[in-house]
């Protein structure tokens, strides 16, 4: 545990020379300013405004994850071709775990700012129809359902290139938006990038309708698949990373 904490601190120090930490602050704040400014005069209903904001948040998540993970991979690569990782006395599994925890910590802080910041700001321009508890649940859904995305893009960034990682992120964002429609019915549980947007939308609709049950018939299957796939991805990634020798396909 002490080794892991030491690695996390070292990774944080590495990020101080980059814009990554500030990106997790600037991007949510920019989104809040744009949406709250528009919602201050938009004629939409409160449900549509809140739903649209959270949908956009879910849609851009894969792109941002692709950018963030590629920045970390590039930093390690330019520092000596991943030699800091390959020659470290620390086990590779701890190195991977450290970076994953750091990604999730930064993502959680950024998501809290985006969701809770919107909840607070929207109280001045509209009527918050969802409690602070529901918004905290949404934060948990966004992070939990995107753990697989962080692992996938970690692999793409370290094994291939930032272009591949960002390109896949863009494709995933399009897929998540597309699968929010009827085209995704019965299919979305098998598309990881659509998990968060479907989970959040199901939660909003449930409490909007005052129902005690969720309407989406695929929700239970989606939860099971997301948990199983996420756990398997962590195990597979740990095995791959411990055997990885720094090979990387250039752009």
Domain holding 155, by residue range, is: 2-243
Measure the CA–CA gap between 226 and 241, rounded to whole angstroms: 22
Q: Which residue has tokens 């796939």?
A: 229
Q: Is residue 229 part of a domain?
A: yes
Split into its structural domains, the chain has a count of 1
59 lies in some domain: yes
**Pure H helices in 82-131:** 83-86, 92-122
At 80 the pLDDT is 65
Q: Which tokens is 73 given?
A: 């991979």
- pLDDT value at position 212? 58
Q: How confident is the model at residue 128, as a pLDDT?
A: 87
Look at residue 166 and tell me if it is in a domain. yes
Residue 222 tokens read as 């989606």
Residues 6+ apart with CB under 8 A from 238: 93, 96, 97
One digit per residue, the tens of pLDDT, for the chain of length 251 reads 777 787 778 777 777 777 778 888 899 999 999 999 999 888 888 899 999 999 999 999 999 999 999 888 887 777 666 666 766 666 778 888 888 898 899 999 999 999 999 999 999 988 888 899 999 999 999 999 999 999 999 999 888 878 899 999 999 999 999 988 888 888 899 999 999 999 999 898 888 766 656 677 889 999 999 999 999 999 999 988 888 776 665 54
pLDDT at 143: 94
Q: What is the C-alpha to C-alpha distance for residues 172 and 78, in angstroms, rounded to an integer?
A: 27
- Scanning the chain, the segments in alpha helix (DSSP H) are 2-15, 20-39, 46-78, 83-86, 92-122, 132-144, 147-159, 162-178, 195-209, 219-243
Asked if residue 133 belongs to a domain, the reply is yes
What pTM does this model have?
Answer: 0.91
Residue 9 counted as domain residue: yes
The answer to whether position 249 is within a domain reads no
Residue 147 lies in a domain: yes
Kindly state the greatest CA–CA separation across the chain: 59
147-159 and 219-243 helices, crossing angle to 10°? 30
pLDDT of the residue at 95: 82
What pLDDT is attached to residue 121? 93
Tokens of 52: 């649209």
SS3 17: coil
- Structural domain includes residue 30: yes
Q: Give the model's pLDDT for residue 79.
A: 66
């Amino acid at each position: 545990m002490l080794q892991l904490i030491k690695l996390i601190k070292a990774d944080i120090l590495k990020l101080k020379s980059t814009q990554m930490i500030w990106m997790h602050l600037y991007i949510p704040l920019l989104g809040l300013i744009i949406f709250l400014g528009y919602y201050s005069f938009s004629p939409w209903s409160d449900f549509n405004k809140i739903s649209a904001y959270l949908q956009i948040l879910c849609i851009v998540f894969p792109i941002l994850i692709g950018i963030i993970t590629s920045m970390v991979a590039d930093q390690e690569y330019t520092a000596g071709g991943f030699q800091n990782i390959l020659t470290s006395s620390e086990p590779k599994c701890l190195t991977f775990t450290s970076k994953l925890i750091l990604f999730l910590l930064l993502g959680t802080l950024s998501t809290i700012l985006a969701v809770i910041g919107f909840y607070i700001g929207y109280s001045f321009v509209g009527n918050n129809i969802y409690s602070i508890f529901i918004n905290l649940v949404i934060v948990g859904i966004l992070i939990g359902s995107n753990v697989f995305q962080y692992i996938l893009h970690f692999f793409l960034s370290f094994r291939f290139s930032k272009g591949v990682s960002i390109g896949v992120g863009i494709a995933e964002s399009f897929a998540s938006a597309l699968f929010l429609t009827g085209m995704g019915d019965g299919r979305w549980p098998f598309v990881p990038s659509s998990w968060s947007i479907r989970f959040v939308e199901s939660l909003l609709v449930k409490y909007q309708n005052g129902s005690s049950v969720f309407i989406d018939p695929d929700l239970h299957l989606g939860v099971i698949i997301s948990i199983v796939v996420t756990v398997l991805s962590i195990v597979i990634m740990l095995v791959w990373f411990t055997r990885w020798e720094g090979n990387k396909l250039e752009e």
